[in-house]
Amino acid sequence: MATHELSSTTTQYILSALFWIIVPLLSIYVFGLYNKIVVRKYVERELEEISEMLEKVIDMMVARAACSTEEARTIIKRASETIIIPPVQLDPHGIIDRLENLLDRGEEKFKSFARVLAGGDEDRVNDFKMSLTAVVTLSNIKKLIEHWLLTASKMGSWQILIQLKFIIPVLKEYALSNYHAAKAFLDRVPVGDSVGPMVAAYLIGDRPVREVEKETVAAEFEHEGRRVVVVKAHGPSGNLGRIGRAVRKLIREYGDVSKVITVDAALKLEGEPTGKVSEGVGVAMGDPGHESYRIEEIAAEEGVDLDAVVIKMSATEAVIPMKKEIADAVPEAAERVLELVKEAPEDTTVIVVGVGNTVGVPDNKPYVPEKGAVGG
């Protein structure tokens, strides 16, 4: 009897142990199988949607290109595969000059592609150039997802698929914003990042402008005993200008510059309203660093104050057609700029810089968005 009870207890222990070993292993197997099938289908579906966005942008560009369809597709494909190799950073001395040189060369390369698409129409070159950058971004997002999807299949790793699933919504939102950006550039509709040049155009009014650096213009006026020089990229085509080099040249030209005020879009945190205007100290400029460095360098040498006015928006809102809340913030931002101008010593020069992509924003008249030019 005792032997039977011992045998029964032993069997229960064994069965219990097997249960706690097999069930977790089975759960892991089922979970992995679920991810390999369901999550993989989800990723493939999202990848297909992003691929469709890319094809739609390419079709839009081909339809507007002045060259043949075949040549346009060849040029766009070449541009989408073009890379800019960053300079060596082991010895940081002189890295800004080297970076600037590479970026200038990269810009000229993309312009050479754009000239073919524009059929030699220089007025449209920048629009095609900016649209090509959106194509490059969409192409890279597509290739990145494709790479990790194929890597997960090759290694049989559902863990990679899970990580890919979590990051897909972010990548898709970024892809969608670039899709809308490409259309905006082709249609010359201001995007969120155009708010800096828009404030500059608002301040310039109907005053004449002059070119101070390649694709960069400036206008001058007096405001309460201070000379104000407003700088922006030349519009209304998609253009960023050479802001840093223009400011450096103007500081040396005038000789009495006491302050530089940069106006740009700034990334907002969740919970902050779109179109909120804030002030700061420093150079408000989201460039790779070469243009803002030029301003900081000359300001330090000449003892020039650096102030900033920023308009808050999300990363997505910065590249899609401008929302009404952002356009409505232009007068307030311009007023903040003039308040900062009054803080400078009298009989000095203040440089105001409208930083950002000037697509859809002309140089020398108050910009009032036409009906349908901004989003809701």
Q: Two tokens at 231?
A: 């700088």
Residues 337 and 202 sit within 8 Å (Cβ to Cβ): no
Report residue 376's pLDDT band, with 50, 70 and 90 as the boundaries. very low
User: What's residue 3's pLDDT?
Assistant: 55
Alpha helix segments (H runs only) across 219-343: 243-254, 290-302, 324-328, 330-342
The 8-class DSSP code of residue 369 comes to P
Higher pLDDT, 14 or 68: 68
Average pLDDT score, the chain:
87
Task: Give the domain ranges of the chain.
Answer: 26-187, 192-354
Beta-ladder partners of 217: 211, 232
For residue 175, pLDDT over 90 is answered with yes
Give percent above pLDDT 70 in the chain. Answer: 87
Residues 243 and 355 sit within 8 Å (Cβ to Cβ): yes
Which helix (H) or strand (E) segment holds residue 299: the answer is helix 290-302
Residues 80 and 178 sit within 8 Å (Cβ to Cβ): no
User: What's residue 81's pLDDT?
Assistant: 92
Query: Residue 307: is it exposed, middle or buried by C-beta count within 10 angstroms (0-12/13-18/19+)?
Result: buried
Give percent above pLDDT 90 in the chain. Answer: 64
In sequence order, which residues have a C-beta less than 8 Å from that of residue 70 and are 6 or more positions away? none
What mean pLDDT comes out for the span 186-192?
91
User: What's residue 79's pLDDT?
Assistant: 93
- Note the pTM of the prediction, 2 decimals: 0.83
What mean pLDDT comes out for the span 348-368?
85
In sequence order, which residues have a C-beta less than 8 Å from that of residue 314 and are 6 or more positions away? 267, 268, 274
Q: Two tokens at 160?
A: 């990679």
User: What's residue 47's pLDDT?
Assistant: 92
User: What's residue 281's pLDDT?
Assistant: 95
Q: Two tokens at 362?
A: 């002309």
Phi and psi of 229, rounded to 5°? -115, 115
Superfamily of domain covering 192-354: Peptidyl-tRNA hydrolase (3.40.50.1470)
Report residue 374's pLDDT band, with 50, 70 and 90 as the boundaries. very low
- Distance (Å) of CA 269 to CA 85, 266, 273, 314: 32, 10, 9, 7
pLDDT single digits (tens) 235-259: 888 889 999 999 999 999 999 999 9
pLDDT single digits (tens) 198-233: 999 999 998 999 999 989 999 999 999 999 999 999
For residue 163, pLDDT over 50 is answered with yes
The length of the chain in residues reads 376
- Amino acid letter, residue 20: W
Q: Two tokens at 158?
A: 């559902």
The 8-class DSSP code of residue 194 comes to G
For residue 365, pLDDT over 70 is answered with no
For residue 6, pLDDT over 80 is answered with no
Report residue 36's pLDDT band, with 50, 70 and 90 as the boundaries. low
pLDDT single digits (tens) 58-105: 999 999 999 999 999 999 999 999 988 988 888 788 888 898 899 889
Nearest to 244 by CA among 370, 97, 82: 97
pLDDT single digits (tens) 270-328: 999 999 999 999 999 987 888 899 999 999 999 999 999 999 999 899 999 999 999 99
What gap in Å lies between CA 156 and CA 131, rounded to an integer?
37
Report residue 179's pLDDT band, with 50, 70 and 90 as the boundaries. very high
pLDDT single digits (tens) 97-149: 898 899 889 999 999 999 999 987 888 898 999 999 999 999 999 999 999 98
What gap in Å lies between CA 117 and CA 129, rounded to an integer?
9
What gap in Å lies between CA 69 and CA 117, rounded to an integer?
10
- Amino acid letter, residue 188: R
User: What's residue 15's pLDDT?
Assistant: 62
What gap in Å lies between CA 327 and CA 372, rounded to an integer?
12
